[in-house]
Structure 1
Amino acid sequence: MDTLLILTVLIVIGALAFDFINGFHDTANAIATSVSTKALTPRRAIILAAVMNFVGAMTFTGVAKTITKDIVDPFTLENGSIVILSALIAGIAWNLITWYYGIPSSSSHAIIGSIAGAAIAAAGFGSLNVSGFGKIVQSLIISPILAFGVGFIVYSIFKIIFKNNNLPKTNKRFRYIQIATAALQAYTHGTNDAQKAMGIITMALIANGYASSTDIPFWVQFSCALAMGLGTSVGGWKIIKTVGGKIMKIRPVNGVAADLTGAAIIFGATYIHLPVSTTHVISSSILGVGAAHRVKGVKWGTAQRMIITWFITLPISGTLAAITYYILDLFF
């Protein structure tokens, strides 16, 4: 077995591992509100999210194509196998570190920053597709801001519509609605996040001469969808606890507003083929809903810690990937 094939196999395994970890790392955000309001038991929420993630991942491939070609050009990528493998190792490492400490950081930031960092280490800043990479970074920045604003507006509308309703009865009804919105949010998560690993595998296939176009092979789509679904079934209890309770005390009506907001923003990004951080979008939608409900009820200290993590993920993952590239380059 030649070295190129070995590296390709390692990349496929690494990408599926990244998707698996993404499943229990990021999907926790999608179901956190429904678990915290007891609309769903943790077990039922995770089963629902696993199924909906798989379905979502099998529905679209546009984001995968963006990841394949818009950060770097896979057809001209220097030492492509080592670059991609380094990016995966760095992205997985950062995901596991933040998962261990229960910090809802972004898998999207981690893998995008890692690809950029490894590519720069291999061939300098000129290796980046500046326009494509810039577009991706803009989507990562704008989406949480948009989620905060939309969440604030949606919950403000809810307050007007249901202001004269009996609060316990309203929350009971919304608890049933939240089962549907949690499923919807898990579905949209699958439509966006699972595609990142699809794009990475396809990038490696092109760079190593095993594919000639950015079309996503069916086996890649299916295996990534399955890996994310299995990862989701493992669960991410620490992050559920942070998102579901440490940002604000969430009631069913808050959860529905946040779920609808998150699903709308994520699916909108999927529709225009842009990767976004589901972690950022969902957490920001909860912050927006919380600010509309009662500003003092939001635990801004937790929000501040999350925001700091968001900002440091890109440069740290990029640096980790660059270091990993230099180490792997010594052996391959």
Structure 2
Amino acid sequence: MSEPTLPNLPTDTYGVPAPSRRPRRLRTSATMRNFVAETQLDPAQFVLPVFIAEGIDAPREISAMPGVYQHTETSLLKAAEEAVKAGVGSIDVFGVPTPEHKDFAGTQAWAADGILNKGVAALRREFGDDLLVMSDTCLDEFTDHGHCGVLTTDHYGNTVVDNDATLPLYAAMAVSQARAGAHIVSPSGMMDGQIRVIRAALDAEGFQDVSILAYSAKYAGAFYGPFREAVGSTLQGDRKTYQQDPRNAREAIMEVQLDIDEGADMVMVKPALPYLDILSQVADYSTVPVAAYQVSGEYSMITAAAQNGWLDREKTIMDSLTSIRRAGADIILTYWATEAAQMLA
């Protein structure tokens, strides 16, 4: 079959001159597109969130997060080794105690032999400074009621989290994590004044070089559901009295500034994708590095859509991470940290 003959068109179309600027010139090949890319993903700035669980003898897949596991110490070290080989910069450890080790105040959170501190210590022994060991500094996994602090009754008979009574517990938790070997503690409870108290406690105990990544703008949204299974949460109700209202933006800037003033070395926006506008504002404003957490709900909805054949899994992962980086994140916490690093390689 012969090629179709194109009509004899003029050099301009309907009297409109040919384009003088052709943006497509910079899209002609993968090499050219990489050459002029405004946004680059760097595995060294990825953080892999992991769960170490008490009372299991083999990794246990989290049903709401296919491909993500509760780990034993052995499998945790294996996952960390894979992350290091891929170039991932940090690993963020969450502890999952057995129900009998949960109590009203979450005392296992700062026990030297508690599951979280054991995981932190094992990672630091194994990898030294080759992998930044970050630890989640919050009580919710360790309290029998699932809240991020101790409970009290207010003047009207309502059960609420006692902000000021919780602060010394966070300080004890942060110090215990530093003793276990954490390079970075990450207070995620959204208690007012938490950064000031934790910084003072770390400094008083000689841990001036341990950094604080503050969960500064953490929103009380609907994207945390799968995480509740991951940590065996016993939460009843919600956290709307201490996490941020999703309708508020200016408040995030105030929270960020308070944390910086109190000594935060890095600040975070969480979740990431539903709050890219907040992330962009914080990145423009902040004088310290900005992190964003691609949370469990983001992971699970992309995973589910890909499993149903509705999305190209790998392309969607990279699109989502690129959007977070483009919005201004210097650091990205993602359950795809190792896989994304391998794809970038």
Q: Which structure ranks higher in relative contact order (CA pairs < 8 Å, sequence separation ≥ 6)?
A: 1
Shorter chain as denominator, the TM-score bin is under 0.3
The answer to which structure has the higher helix fraction is: 1
The answer to which structure has the higher strand fraction is: 2
* Structure (1 or 2) with the larger CA radius of gyration: 2
Q: TM-score, normalised by structure 1?
A: 0.22
